[in-house]
Amino acid sequence: MAVPPSQNRSLARRLFGRWEASDVAPLVSLAVLVVFFALVAPGFLKPATVVQVLKQGSVLAIVSVGLTFVLLCAEIDLAVGMLALWTACLCGFLFQRPFAAGPSGAGAAPAWAVVVAIAVPLATSLLLGLTSGLLTVWSRLPSFIISLAMMNIADGMSRWLTKSENLNVPSILKTIGNRGIEITNRFELSYSALLAAAVFIVGHVVLQHTRFGRYVYMTGGNREAARLAGVRTGRIVVACLAISAVTAGLGGLVNAGRLNSVSLDQNADLLLSAVACVVLGGTSLFGGSGGMGRTAVGVITFSVLKVGLNQIAWIDDLARPLLMGLVLMVALVVNGLLSKNK
């Protein structure tokens, strides 16, 4: 039982806080991957790779922020992928109504119509998240079951609404998804990455510096203890699932923008990728430990893996998903083992 005496903390400790194996493990995994790809893929250590990682990772990052809240309070939200799809579909649907597209269907949409086409879908996603949360708390069923049903509902609503058509989305989403601020002529900081960073920072501040954030951790750490201390743990769970639904919706909008339209094949693997990112960063699936910094590391690791594998030219395209899965499994197991040996 090592007791850190608070009076003689070293400077390093004061700057970085207390580091444990579980904090370092995800960073080590990331470093190993970077070194590996630098050796194997000649073009890897170039600004273009960073641009790509940031762009590819941003949708995942936005969704992972909400999912981190859910996992921290020891619940799960399986609906994130389909909520992302639903939000984007509704956005596309609204955007093609006459109020936005004009009577001929080709006019420039007025600004208020764009706002409606983005805000209303996000609000419906929030509503669906609240529904999942309230049902989870009220029925005392695991959120696994409730959000599984919600996943199917969101998927079904998307199909019914779009009739399997490709739908156009507002140009502002396309700009966010594809453009950025040019910093040098070879390095462009994409708007989607900036948006993801903003969502991350908000998430981090809420978790670390608000009472709500503390209650999320304590509810996940020991729900009964939190309840006995007067925390209304039911509300915390509902709020986490609602947050997760909103970030999922936002991620879906950005993804549709990146792909210039919305179609039913989008976001199919978003859920599992986001769970992998959060857990890869070292946030526990059982609640109470983890945080936004870790999720950020997880998202970057995941994106580096994806981009890096694509840069190795001699791998058969059809073998890439298999390799992705294998490397992911190794990384998860190694991180998991390292963080257990505290």
Binding site for other proteins (CB under 8 A): 1, 3-6, 18, 208-211, 213-214, 217-218, 221-222, 224-232, 288-289
Give the integer Cα–Cα distance in Å for 95 and 43. Answer: 40
Closest CA to 110 of 172, 64, 162: 172
Strand 167-168, strand 261-262: pairing? antiparallel
Angstrom distances, CA of residue 159 to CA of 85, 89, 227: 10, 9, 41
Of the two residues 55 and 223, which places its CB atom closer to other proteins in the complex?
Answer: 223
Tell the smallest beta-carbon distance from residue 231 to other proteins (Å). Answer: 7
Nearest approach, Cβ of residue 323 and other proteins (Å): 35
Cα 237 to Cα 147: distance, rounded to the nearest angstrom: 13
CB of 201 to other proteins, least distance (A): 15
Q: How many CB atoms lie within 10 A of CB 25?
A: 24
CB of 133 to other proteins, least distance (A): 18
Name the residue nearer to other proteins (CB basis): 21 or 194.
21
Distances (CA, A) of 149 to 124, 143, 247, 249, 276: 16, 10, 19, 17, 21
Instruction: Say if residues 182 and 193 touch (Cβ distance below 8 Å).
Output: no
The nearest distance, CB 336 to other proteins, in angstroms, is 16
- Residue 36 burial (CB count, 10 A): 15
Which CB, 214 or 320, lies closer to other proteins? 214
Give the nearer residue to other proteins in terms of CB position, either 81 or 291: 291
Which is closer to other proteins, CB of 228 or CB of 330? 228
Residue of 8, 29, 85, 13 lying closest to 264 (CA atoms): 85
HEC string of 31-46?
A: HHHHHHHHHHCCCCCC
Q: How far is the CB of 89 from other proteins (least distance, A)?
A: 38
> 102 or 221: whose CB is closer to other proteins?
221
CA angle at residue 62 from 232 to 54, to 5 degrees?
A: 150
The least CB distance from residue 227 to other proteins, in Å, is: 6
Nearer to other proteins, 1 or 313 (CB): 1
User: What is the per-residue DSSP string for 278-334?
Assistant: HHHHT--TTSS---HHHHHHHHHHHHHHHHHHHH-TTS-GGGHHHHHHHHHHHHHHH
